[in-house]
Amino acid sequence: MTSLTGHTITVEPAAVHVRTVHDGQVLAESRRPLVLRETGCPDRYYLPPEDVRTGLLTASDTRTHCPFKGDASYWSLPGAADLVWAYAEPEERVAAIKDHFCFYATEVVPD
């Protein structure tokens, strides 16, 4: 757990099965995601690149900076801009999410 001036971030393996579907098409599915919990934000699942259908995604020009996680790059689908992001060089405190993909809409799948 990392706490900076009241802001806490944790990253740990999640013992869940998650999936991302857009317009009926499965974009990602993983039984080994990482869950990132951050003060003031919803839990986010970060999926290993092997579990993401990256061939369906197009790199975006969008870049954002988070003082707690680092610089994020984004990918899109036709009609769905900046649907997913990843940190190529995250801050040390969240190094585990390096090159993992995070989608805005990820569902936990009951087994």
- Boundaries of every domain in the chain: 2-109
Q: 2-109: which CATH topology?
A: 2.170.150
Does the pLDDT at position 1 exceed 60?
Answer: no
b vs e for 79-107, b when ≥16 Cβ sit within 10 Å of the residue's Cβ? Answer: eeebbbbbbeebbebbeebeebbbbeebe
Does the pLDDT at position 12 exceed 90?
Answer: yes
Among the residue ranges 18-22, 80-84, 91-95, 106-110, the one predicted with the least confidence is 106-110
Does the pLDDT at position 83 exceed 80?
Answer: yes
What average pLDDT does the segment 41-54 reach? 95
What average pLDDT does the segment 65-81 reach? 94
% of the chain residues with pLDDT over 70:
95
Does the pLDDT at position 3 exceed 60?
Answer: no
